[in-house]
Every structure is written in C-alpha cells, then in structure tokens.
Structure 1
C-alpha cells in the first residue's frame, strides 16, 4: 500500500476506552468527564424515621414500604430517585 498500510487516506482512529463510574455505575469517556457528568447521592438509602435521626427500626406490617426509607443526603424516598449531587465521574482505578 502506498499510504503506509493505513486505511482511509492514512488516518488511524484511536480506540476510546470507556471507564465505569463507581458512584453512578455508568460507563463514560474520560476525555469528556466534567463536574456535571456524574449524578449521584453522596449518602446511603436508609431505613429509619425522618424525625429521629439516631434510632433505626424495622417497618411494621401496617407501615407503607416507603414510610421510613429515604436517602440520608436529600430525603428522597424513592430508591431510584435521581442523584442530588453532580461531580466528576470516579473510576475504580482511582
């Protein structure tokens, strides 16, 4: 080949290696990672009363399943709620 063995007029495409974010569990391209790329909850989804931040308890049989479960950081009661914070993606390599 006259163009040095390279296809498409001598241009080689660089293979992008995507990484997995350990906070939001999404794959991302490290070259496009910015402070609004990752949406996550910085705290845990907990099971306790909103008004009593120290005592954990089991839900009773008559309690609705969402009554005492929420994200400790923002109070969202849906376990699938969008994260309340944004920041850079964080890889498992870091």
Structure 2
C-alpha cells in the first residue's frame, strides 16, 4: 500500500497554467509562474474597453497582459503558486 502511494506521488503531471511537468514532491507555493489574466488588446479609439487579442486586430492596438501590463506574449508570468494538474479538475 505504501509503495503504491509513493508511485502515485512521483507521477509526473503537466500544469495547466504554465504547461511544465512536475511531481507532487516538487510542487510548492512558488513552483508555478503564470499570468492569471488574458493577453488582451486595447484599441486606441476606445481606451476604456478591453478586448481579447484576435488575429484581425489592427497593428495600432496596444497588446498586453491584463494582469500586469507586460507587452510581450512570452513574458514570464507575474504570479506564482502551486502547479495545478489537468487531473485536478
């Protein structure tokens, strides 16, 4: 029984937020770095509304993560937490 638990504990999972693999024993409160919000597009003609980025958005639109303002879609996440598996629901 203990051996089964040990095997389950060390099964690699994929985090649904950062897409990295992890094991339960390596998962702590700062293991996962991610953006908790969407990468959005704000049109200059409407400064108060936010839009999710779409392929046909004009090049003059400001694009950034709504959570932290990072303008690079590949920017390192602004929040850390534990990994969350697709299996966790």
TM-score (norm 1): 0.70
Structure holding more helix per residue = 2
Misfit runs of 4+, over 6 Å: none
Q: CA deviation at 1:86?
A: 0.1
Of 48, 68, 74, 2:42 maps to 48
Q: How many residues align?
A: 76
TM-score (norm 2): 0.73
Unmatched runs of 5 consecutive residues or more in structure 2: 1-5
How big is the alpha-carbon RMSD for the aligned residues of Structure 1 and Structure 2?
2.3
* Corresponding position of 1:11: none
Unmatched runs of 5 consecutive residues or more in structure 1: 1-13
